[in-house]
Amino acid sequence: MAARTWVLTDVQQEIYVEQISLSCDQLGGKAAGYAVVKRTLRGGLRQGVDVIEVHNGLLRLVVVPTRGMGIWRASLGGLQLKWDSPVRGPVHPAFVNLWEPSGIGWLDGFDELVVRCGLESNGAPVFNPNGTVRYPLHGKIANIPAHHVSVAIDDTSGDISVRGVVDEARLFGAKLRLETVVSTKVGQPWFAIRDTVTNISAEPGDMELLYHINFGAPLLEPGARVVAPAAKVAPRDATAASTLPHWDCYGPETPAAPEAVFFLDLRADTEGRTQATLRNATGTQGVTVRFNKQQLPYFTLWKNRQAVPDGYVTGLEPGINFPNPKPFEQQRGRVALLAPGQSRSFDLVIEAHADAAAVSAAEQQVASLQAGASPVVLDKPDPHWSVV
C-alpha cells in the first residue's frame, strides 16, 4: 500500500483526532515492528497535552504538538535520551506564564529533550525601560500548540514522519510560521528534524532560532565528555572561564553550582556538515547531534551542574545566534532578516549510540572533521560573542 497520511489536527477544517493507534499489524506491507500512537495526557500540569509516540522497532520518541512540536524524550533499548527536570511535564502552555515579571517564566515548562528557542527572540530576557518584559527568556514558539498535525507512514520503505505547523503571530507584531517534519525509519537508531520558518507577514520581519537539545543520566555523569570538532571555544562569562580546562568534560553533581556556558565555532566539511557527540564516561553509550553549519552556524554548550533533583543536565545547542539578549545579537548581525514570504530551512539528526562501537565511530567522524587541528580556546569571553 506504500505511503499513507492521517490528519490528526486541522483547525481550519475543524479536524481533531483525540486518539489513534497505527501499527504494522494493521497496515501490512513490508515494513515491520513499528507503531505510532497519538493520545491526550490527563492530570497535573500535563492536562490536555497531545503526544505522538513513534516506535520504529528500535527507537522510540515522543513528539508534543501542544508544545510547539518539541520532542519530549526518546530511547534506544535501555538508553534513555532525556533529563530529569524539576518540572514534571510535558507541561501544557496554559500553565506557563512567559510574561511573568522575572522574564524567565519559560522555565516553568522546560523539560524536553529537544525544545526550539525562538522564533521572534531567544536568549536572556529583555526588559522595556519601565521594567516590563519585552522579550521573555527563549521566546514563545515552544509554548504554542500546532494548528495542523499529520502522520505519514510508508509501509514499504519504513519511513515514518510527523508533520506540524505552528504560527507565532499576533496583530501589530511578528508573524512567523514554523513547518516541521520529524521523521525516522524502521529499525534505525536516529530521528531527523526538518524545520522551515516563513515570514507570513506582508512586511519584513526578523527571527532567532536555537535548538536546546538536553541530556541527563545515563549519558551525563562524572567523566562524560563532549566530542566536537571545535575551531574556537570561548567561555560566556567568568563562571565558565573558571572551569575552562574542563570545558568538554563533566564533573559530579554540585549543589548550588552556577551554570557554565561555552560558545563554540565548529569545523565542518565542504558542504557544511558538522556534529557534536556526548558520550558517557566509559564510551559505551552516547548520542550525536548532526546539523549543517551553513544553516546553523553557532554552537552553545550548556552545563547545569546542580544536583539531579535541581536539574543536572547539559545542552548541545546549534543555532543561528548565541543565546544573548536580542539587541546584542542584532548589533552583531546574528538575527536573521526575512522579507515578506521568505523562508529559511534547518535540518538536524539525533542519533543514539547503544554500544562502544557506535560511540567510537561517531568519535572518528569528529576526528575527521577536526583533521588534527587544535581549537583556539580563549581564557576569557569574546566581546563579539558575549555580553561582557
Note the pLDDT of residue 184. Answer: 98
Note the pLDDT of residue 27. Answer: 78
For a pLDDT cut of 70, what percent of the chain falls above it?
Answer: 100
Per the domain annotation, does 308 fall within a domain? yes
Per the domain annotation, does 383 fall within a domain? no
Instruction: List the one residue out of 77, 74, 142 whose CA is nearest residue 106.
Output: 142
Per the domain annotation, does 234 fall within a domain? yes
pLDDT band per the 50, 70, 90 thresholds, residue 25: confident
**pLDDT tens string 321-349:** 999 999 999 999 999 999 999 999 999 99
Per the domain annotation, does 364 fall within a domain? yes
Note the pLDDT of residue 24. Answer: 83
pLDDT mean over 176-193: 98
Give the three-state DSSP class for 46. Answer: helix
Note the pLDDT of residue 32. Answer: 85
For residue 328, report the phi and psi dihedrals to the nearest 5 degrees.
Answer: -65, -45
Q: Which domain holds residue 306?
A: 3-377
Question: Does 15 score more than 90 pLDDT?
Answer: yes
Per the domain annotation, does 219 fall within a domain? yes
pLDDT mean over 175-189: 98
Per the domain annotation, does 384 fall within a domain? no
CA dist 31 and 314 (Å) reads 35
pTM equals 0.97
Per the domain annotation, does 212 fall within a domain? yes
Note the pLDDT of residue 261. Answer: 98
Question: Does 204 score more than 60 pLDDT?
Answer: yes
- In this structure, the strands spanning 286-292 and 273-279 are antiparallel
C-alpha cell at 135: 522579550
CATH number for the domain spanning 332: value is: 2.70.98.10
Note the pLDDT of residue 1. Answer: 57
Count Cβ atoms below 10 Å from residue 186 Cβ, excluding itself.
Answer: 22
**pLDDT tens string 241-288:** 999 999 999 999 999 999 999 999 999 999 999 999 999 999 999 999
Average pLDDT, the chain: 96
Give the three-state DSSP class for 109. Answer: helix
Note the pLDDT of residue 29. Answer: 77
Per the domain annotation, does 189 fall within a domain? yes
pLDDT band per the 50, 70, 90 thresholds, residue 2: confident
Count up the domains in the chain and report the number. 1
